[in-house]
Amino acid sequence: MIDPVAFYIFGKEVRWYGILIAAAVLLGIYLAVREAKRLGYDPDMFIDFCLWVIPISIVGARIYYVVFQWDYYRAHPSEIIAIWHGGIAIYGAVLAGILVGIIFAKVRKVDFWGLADIVAPSLILGQAIGRWGNFFNGEAYGYLVSSPKWQWFPAAVYIDGQWHMATFFYESMWDLAVFIFLMWYRKRKRYSGDVFLGYLALYGIGRFIVEGLRTDSLMWGPLRVSQVLSLILIAVAVLIRVCWMRTGKQQFSMEDAALQANANDEDDVGDI
């Protein structure tokens, strides 16, 4: 295993986990702001949105994790804020981000679904990068791999003297594939909100499968919390999309149609 500490500053450790999370956030902001400009959104307005949604989502991710690991954190309260040691749950960030997005859209009088579509590719790319923080922390791994022919990285990962399924890697690769698809699909969507619903459904499918291979899942009684929430979000995404089709929802809001009309025709590969 690689040392989880990248370097020290004035005696304080700087961990790879924190570096990767920070890199994921910065790259996500860059891509989202670029897409917002492409669609004609006011860049200042969108940066304001990022300044609200990012810190609150990180707090939401931490709270979600702490709640489902409360037996540990009740005994170690000083660790509750030690986010640099790992322990954030992306679904906590997603739920907090949705709430912030709804409130922000209502206050600024913009289309929530349009905002969500812009953010979705950045979010899944950030998840793909952030999963490597789990590698450096030696966490988010799967069951033991007993067969020598599979005891190599990235099929497996060597932790604490044993080979385990490299579930962090499996999820990272799935997230990257979803990111590429969403970047392609964003110019081909039929409804405002399609990209975000695609994110919820596709990420939910991958997370449900990978979560079943992990040994450190957050549990709710006998149930894996992330698997339950994955199924719920997949169902919600599908039902919303079906309702739009059956009720004849306007494909784009007037605002989104105007923004789409102003979008340039950059090559998809160049956008990525």
Binding site per annotation, positions: 131
Render 204-253 in DSSP notation, one character per residue: HHHHHHHHTTBSS--EETTEEHHHHHHHHHHHHHHHHHHHHHHHT--SS-
Instruction: Write out the two tokens for 63.
Output: 């709270």
Q: In 3-state terms, what secondary structure has residue 26?
A: helix
Q: In 3-state terms, what secondary structure has residue 56?
A: helix
CA–CA distances in Å: residue 37 to residues 16, 31, 42, 118, 260: 31, 10, 7, 10, 11
CA gap 111, 188 in Å, rounded:
18
Alpha helices in the chain (DSSP H): 16-39, 43-67, 70-75, 90-108, 112-137, 167-185, 194-211, 225-247, 254-262, 268-271
CA gap 90, 62 in Å, rounded:
9
Torsion over CA: 42, 43, 49, 52 (sign):
negative
CA gap 184, 46 in Å, rounded:
22
What backbone phi and psi angles, to 5 degrees, belong to 248? 70, 35
Pair 88, 81: CB distance under 8 Å? no
Within 10 Å of residue 111's Cβ, how many Cβ atoms?
Answer: 17
